[in-house]
Amino acid sequence: MPVALDDRDRALLAGDRGAGAAFAMRLVLLAAEALGARQLIDISGAHVDSCLYHGQATLDFVERLRAGDARVTVPTTLNVGAVDLLHPELWHGSPEVAEAGRRLMEAYRALGCRPTYTCAPYQLPFARPALGDQVAWAESNAIVFCNSVLGARTERYGDFTDIACAITGRVPDAGLHRTEARRATLVLRLADDVPPALRDADVLYPVLGMVLGRRAGSSVAALVGLPAGLDEDRLKAIGAAAASSGAVAMFHAVGSTPEAPTLAAALGGRDTGAAVEETITLAELRGARDALTTGDDLPLAAVSLGTPHASLGELRAIARAVDGRRTRVELLVSTGRDVLAAADSEGIAARLRAAGVELLVDTCSYLSPVLREVPGAVMTDSAKWAAYAPGNVGREVVFASRDDCLASAVSGRVTIDLAPWGGA
Amino acid sequence: MTNRGIHGEALVLDEPLSLWGGLDPATGRIVDARHPQRGASVSGRVLAMSAVRGSSSSSSVLAEAVRAGTAPLAVLLGERDLILSVGSAVAEELYGVRVPIVVWPRARLAALRTGDRVIVADS
């Protein structure tokens, strides 16, 4: 079944708005065919990940769009790039790669994208679509947050397709843009042996996300048995981990996310027999937690927090924990430049720096050579960081709660409190 | 691709591969430490696998491999894949080299062996 085009689509393809927009429209059509869409629909915004350098081809692509006079036609934010444009001294890699990465980030800005350079655009008031809005977002953690927590609708866009949607203002009418694909087909219930103290601890949520991704794969699951009204930082941690261990683009947390006030709502009105129901036990959670650590017998080299980018609330909590203290190992916190500006105006950034905290923006410490080359393991509270850093930047990892990470950064030794886990 | 199609030797992967983090576009070799065929070269061969795994950045890696002249001649997959299709289309637009992404029935893929001669022809 061919994709039905309207007059505007045909005009774009014919080059009425330039060769760059025509190229973008061809890519959107290719996506529509791959997703089995019958037509295209309008979007109200986009989040673009193509600004991360992956070689000369990524520069050649954006130069081709620019040469063809392409511009984005909807409000568009940018994901992280290769370098911190505001703190270039934190880069320890090749100057040539840094320069190419910087040029790519600037090139997307020149197409009309807003230079947010963050993997957490949902923390920016001007970049949050509303419930039911159709958008084109890239970056796996942002995609899952957009669908699950904001209730806005995106498919899994990524390199080249994200900017093509932003230029055309169009997406395939397929997948998670459509109501029927957003219903849960799997119910995951926290078993009774998961202690209440663990359900109330931040450290549960990235670990739960790892289990969710492994169980759900690419399907939509509903989580049951969690406290109601989970905050956005915990929901962020679930989604980022689930998109690392699986291909999760949406989940429901019953009682917390907008399309799941009840389990029945998450199932889209079908009865509970329509979905498979499974439980998640304490033993499985402990196993997933332990699998995140690769270097538990190594000395502590550094601590990395803020993957996905730390929210203002997380920066405040870190500042409270390190006030009046001084880190003995490198403690690096990644955040977005707009969130850092807000933290600066509250005086939080100064408090963090006084304790020895390095603040990284525009990129992430699992993508770029920014952590100092000190032998030993890097401690993190991020399951996503733990999943990617060994392969990407060749570092061994110790996973623990944020409080454990901060206490260890101050003492210089790995200390982990297992009390919330029932002592093991 | 000529009218007579692409002729090449198959490299059949035992497990799905994410090109991002799994293929070095500078050399065309598989670099994923956990992949059973680590070290194998995809350059100039017909790459066959049941599915693609992982990140959308694989689109960029395929385009970069085409630019660097290390790409496979064609890719045979057991299912449609947006990520590689887009990477291939972008590379064709930028560099004029076509790497067809072809969906094959899984049963035929399962019968294919590394070293088999494959012809990918326009239908």
pLDDT at res. B119: 92
A54 Cα to chain B: minimum distance (Å): 6
Low-confidence ranges of chain B (pLDDT < 70): 1-4, 54, 122-123
pLDDT at res. A274: 74
Using only C-alpha atoms, chain A has a radius of gyration, in whole angstroms, of 22
Helix, coil or strand: residue B46:
strand
pLDDT at res. B3: 54
Point out the least confidently predicted range of A315-319, A375-379, B81-85.
B81-85
Q: Where are the alpha helices (DSSP H) in A260-382?
A: 263-266, 282-291, 312-322, 337-345, 348-354
Query: What is the rounded average pLDDT of the residues A149-162?
Result: 96
Interface test with A, best of B53, B57, B102 (most A CBs within 10 A): B57
Query: What residue of A is the nearest CA neighbor of B87?
Result: A160
pLDDT at res. B4: 67
Beta strands in A39-129 (DSSP E): 40-42, 46-48, 76-78
pLDDT at res. B1: 44
Q: Is the dihedral of CA A351, A356, A361, A366 positive or negative?
A: negative
**Residue B89 and residue A30: Cβ atoms within 8 Å?**
yes
Is the ipTM, as predicted for this complex, more than 0.85?
yes
Greater confidence (A281 vs A390) lies with A281
Q: Considering only CB atoms, which chain A residues are within 8 Å of B18?
A: none
pLDDT band at A66 (very low <50, low <70, confident <90, very high): very high
Model confidence pLDDT, tens digit, residues A201-210: 999 999 999 9
Model confidence pLDDT, tens digit, residues A208-251: 999 999 999 999 999 999 999 999 999 999 999 999 988 899 99
pLDDT at res. B52: 79
B3 Cα to chain A: minimum distance (Å): 23
Query: What is the rounded average pLDDT of the residues A43-63?
Result: 97
Q: Considering only CB atoms, which chain B residues are within 8 Å of A61?
A: 63, 90, 94
Beta strands in A243-311 (DSSP E): 251-253, 276-280, 300-310
* Reported pTM: 0.95
Please indicate whether residue B55 is annotated as part of the active site.
yes
pLDDT at res. A272: 67
For B17, residues 6+ apart whose C-beta sits below 8 A from its C-beta are B23, B30, B32, B35, B49, B52, B53
**Residue B94 and residue A64: Cβ atoms within 8 Å?**
yes
| Average model confidence (pLDDT) across chain A | 96
Residue A200 dihedral angles phi and psi, to the nearest 5°: -95, 5
Model confidence pLDDT, tens digit, residues A71-93: 999 999 999 999 999 999 999 99
Burial-class residue A60 by CB neighbours within 10 Å (0-12, 13-18, 19+).
Answer: middle
B82 Cα to chain A: minimum distance (Å): 6
- Cα–Cα distance measured from residue A356 to residue B106, given in angstroms and rounded to the nearest whole number: 55
Using only C-alpha atoms, chain B has a radius of gyration, in whole angstroms, of 13
Query: What is the rounded average pLDDT of the residues A389-399?
Result: 91
Over pLDDT 70: what percentage of chain A?
100
